[in-house]
Structures are given as structure tokens and as C-alpha cells.
Amino acid sequence: MKRLGRISERMVEGVFTVSGAITGVAILLIVVFLFREGLGLFNSPSVENGYVLCVNAQNTAENLTVAEIKRIFDAEITSWQELGGGNGEIMLFRFEEIFNIYAEEELGEDYALLPEKLGQVIVENPNVIAYLPQQYAPTDMQGVKLLPVGNINISDFFGGKEWIPTATPAPQLGVLPLILGTLLVSIVAILIALPLGLGVAVYLSELAGERIRKLMKPTIELLAGIPSVVYGFFGLVVLVPIVQKVFNLSVGETALTGSLILAIMALPTIITVAEDAMRNTPRAMREASLALGATHWQTIYKVVIPYSASGISAAVVLGIGRAIGETMAVLMVTGNAAVMPHSLFEPIRTIPATIAAELGEAPAGGAHYESLFMLGCILFVITMIISITAEVISKGQPDKGI
């Protein structure tokens, strides 16, 4: 009997041990699944899956970049010369156009003659570039050359300045505007929230009476719990019109609006962490300062603030981390224009907002879908770095026992 008890006890303890590892396992799983989907992006062809680009065999242009393909089809590049080819004017040919040339009957049963006819078009027009479904592409025909497009590469992804994932034939997956948008909104938010937050932290820890403190601190902590979608709604109906009116803009959904709402959301975090750090200043240090004739204010900024510097920095870092990862509020108030940010008064888009807005429409397994997971990976790495930084910084605070 006793033995049975001991065995079952061991088993329960085993369950505890396994549970203990759960957070580590969870992080491992998150890394595996995010990167598995995300890294697939760099094995995807840079034109839409299942489609190819064909040119005349005499065409000498090679190694077109994704951006160049897009500009060709937007008719921004009009001559092969710009791409290192002959000096003919580029002729665009999209698959559907074949039906303007030939009636459906002429293409044979089940479109059996379609590849041949497509091939003819390409052979006859030396300056053509044709965007065709792979199954009909006349790849083995004399005089037709398959344009090698290669896979989406890392430098195009991280260095690209355009985010147009639905562009055909070549989706533009440059994350630079999204990364810069995220950083802009978050950093401005912290610049707004920091002076306010620190001021309140000083007030709470040094000036406020015990009664006010006991009332204010829980209230502020309570506000940290309000769901971000509610802040987003508040931003949408209150801040957006205010920003539009005050700065006389055509739309109120701007980077600044996002920063304001993020600043409001980051305030409770900054205040709580910074106030805790300041209250940790040993009484002996304050008393020593006062005894030397310093005023209360001099004690605050010459003793308390320097002493709690690492705690305050941790508050800043945590605030930035929260701002960078914030999704709903930013999605609702920044206008969601995936362009390189030029000023605070224009719509921008952040990484989390992009994922939230687009994942629902991106077909699973496609380049767009994978690129959104890659954005998730970027976000994950950034927040990991921030969280570890905060941990290292807050360890820097000297111990209380002096």
C-alpha cells in the first residue's frame, strides 16, 4: 500500500516537472512554427506561384529584380535598354490578351493549341514580355525563352521599400516601410509618455500623501488592464477627429494619432515600474542627502533619480516593447497605408497591424501568407531582444541593503 502511494506520488511529481517546462516548450514551439512558415518565403518564386514570365529568345535582358518586374508591368519601365537589353520598346502581354487575338474555337479542344499560339505571339514580337500560367507556357518552343526570376531573396525583403503583396505578376514584399512605421510610432509614443510617466512616478513616490497614493496607484494599474481594442475605439472616435482638426489635415488617421494612443496605453507600465524603482531608494540615502542641507527636490534629482536609473530605463524599454507589439489600437487609428513614413501627419502602418489586417485574406501557403509569418518572426525577435535587455538593465539596480 505504502509502495503504491510512493509510486503515485512520483507520478504526480513527474507531472509537475513536465508542467514546469511548459513555458520553455511553448517558446520553442512558437519559434519552430513561426520560422517554419516564415522561412518558406525565401523558397518561393518571386512571381506568383504557378505563373512564369516568357520573352523572345533574342532578348538579352536577364536577372530582373522583383521591383523591375513590377515597374515593367506598371509601364514605368518602357524600354529594354533600361534593363540591359536591346533598345526596343517593351511590349506587355498578359495571358488573357490571347483571347482578343484568337476566338475560343481556334484554340482547339481543351485549349490544346493554346501554348502553340502563345508561342507564336512571343516569336513574332521580339520585344514582348509575357506573363503566363505555367501549364500553358510554351517553354519548349524554339524562339521562346523562359525568364529566370529566381526566389524571393532576403535583401529584397528587408531592403524593399514597397509593400504591395497583391501586386501581379510580382508581389512587392519590402518590409522597410513597415519596420520604419513601427519604430516611428513606438518611439514617438515613448517620447510623449516618458516625461509624463516619470513626472507622475516622482509625484507618486515622493510627493503624494499616503491617501492619494493608495487611491491613484491601483487606479493606474487598473487602466493597464483595459483591452487594447477599447483604447483603439477611443482613439478612433476621440483622438482621430481631434488630430484632424488641430493640425488641419485631410485625414486624422496618422502616425501621430497612433503615437498618442500608444502613449496613453504605455503610461501605466512606465509609471508603475519607475515608481517601484524610486521607492526602492534606501531611506538612509535620502536622509543623508537631506542632512547635508539639500532640499527635497535636490535629493530627488541628485539622489533618487540617479539611484533608480536602471529601473527607469527598464520602464522605458518595457514601454517600447509594449508599443512595438501593440496591434489593435494601432490598426484602428493609423490609417494603414503601407508607405515609407515621411512625416508624423501621414497614415502609416506597423508590423502587427499588417499581420492583423492581411492574414485573413492571404491564401495559406502562398508567398503573402509566408511573408506575414516572416513579419511575425521579426516581431518575435525584436520583443525577445527588448525583454532580455529589460531584464539585464533591471538587474543593474544596486541592492537595497547598504
Partner 1 sequence: MDKQASQRIAFIIFRILGMIVVGILLWVLGFIIYNGAGVISWEFLTAAPEEGMTEGGVFPAIVGTLCLVVGSMVFAFPVGVMSAIYTNEYAGNGWLVRFIRIMTNNLGSIPSIVFGLFGMSLFVNTLGFGDSILAGSLTLGLLTLPLVIRTTEEALKAVPDSYRTGSRALGASKLQTIGKVILPAAFPNITTGLILSIGRVSGETAPILFTCAAYFLPKLPTGIFDQVMALPYHLYVIATSGTDIEASRPVAYGTALVLIAIVLLMNLLAAFLRRYFGKKIKTN
Candidates 70, 67, 61, 53; CA nearest to 88 is 61
- Applying CB under 8 A, what is the total number of residues that bind partner 1? 84
Of positions 7, 101, 154, 230, contacts partner 1 by CB under 8 A: 230
CB closer to partner 1, 156 vs 206: 206
Of positions 227, 241, 306, 396, contacts partner 1 by CB under 8 A: 227
Of the candidate spans 11-19, 55-63, 109-117, 277-285, the one that interacts with partner 1 by CB under 8 A turns out to be: 11-19
- HEC profile of the chain: CHHHHHHHHHHHHHHHHHHHCHHHHHHHHHHHHHHHHHHHHHHCECCCCCEEEEEECCCCCCCCCHHHHHHHHCCCCCEHHHHCCCCCECEEEEHHHHHHHCCHHHHCHHHCCHHHHHHHHHHHCCCEEEEEEHHHCCCCCCCEEECCCCECCHHHHHHCCCEECCCCCCCEECCHHHHHHHHHHHHHHHHHHHHHHHHHHHHHHHHCCHHHHHHHHHHHHHHHCCCHHHHHHHHHHHHHHHHHHHCCCCCCCCHHHHHHHHHHHHHHHHHHHHHHHHHCCCHHHHHHHHHCCCCHHHHHHHHHHHHCHHHHHHHHHHHHHHHHHCCHHHHHHCECCCCCCCCCCCCECCHHHHHHHHCCCCCCCCHHHHHHHHHHHHHHHHHHHHHHHHHHHHHCCCCCCC
Of the candidate spans 41-49, 55-63, 115-123, 234-242, the one that interacts with partner 1 by CB under 8 A turns out to be: 234-242
Of the candidate spans 58-66, 77-85, 120-128, 192-200, the one that interacts with partner 1 by CB under 8 A turns out to be: 192-200
Of positions 168, 203, 244, 340, contacts partner 1 by CB under 8 A: 203
CB closer to partner 1, 267 vs 303: 267
Of positions 7, 101, 238, 284, contacts partner 1 by CB under 8 A: 238
CB closer to partner 1, 92 vs 223: 223
CB closer to partner 1, 70 vs 322: 322
CB of 275 to partner 1, least distance (A): 11
CB of 296 to partner 1, least distance (A): 6
Helices 351-358 and 309-325 sit at what angle, rounded to 10 degrees?
30
CB closer to partner 1, 121 vs 300: 300
CB closer to partner 1, 30 vs 101: 30
Of the candidate spans 120-128, 152-160, 191-199, 274-282, the one that interacts with partner 1 by CB under 8 A turns out to be: 191-199
Of positions 3, 75, 211, 360, contacts partner 1 by CB under 8 A: 360
User: In whole angstroms, what is the distance from residue 38 CA to residue 32 CA?
Assistant: 10
CB closer to partner 1, 122 vs 264: 264
Binding mask 116-155 for partner 1 (x = CB under 8 A): ----------------------------------------
Q: Map the footprint of partner 1 across residues 253-282, applying CB under 8 A.
A: 264, 267-268, 271
252 touches partner 1 by CB under 8 A:
no
Contact between 143 and 56 under an 8 Å Cβ cutoff? The reply is yes
CB of 72 to partner 1, least distance (A): 33
CB of 89 to partner 1, least distance (A): 43
Contact between 243 and 251 under an 8 Å Cβ cutoff? The reply is no
- Beta-bridge partner residues of 53: 131
Torsion of CA 41, 46, 51, 55, to 10 degrees: -160
CB closer to partner 1, 84 vs 227: 227
User: In whole angstroms, what is the distance from residue 75 CA to residue 350 CA?
Assistant: 29
CB closer to partner 1, 288 vs 384: 384
CB of 188 to partner 1, least distance (A): 17
396 touches partner 1 by CB under 8 A:
no
226 touches partner 1 by CB under 8 A:
yes
Of the candidate spans 48-56, 120-128, 152-160, 220-228, the one that interacts with partner 1 by CB under 8 A turns out to be: 220-228
Q: Map the footprint of partner 1 across residues 277-336, applying CB under 8 A.
A: 295-298, 300-301, 321, 324-328, 332
CB of 355 to partner 1, least distance (A): 5
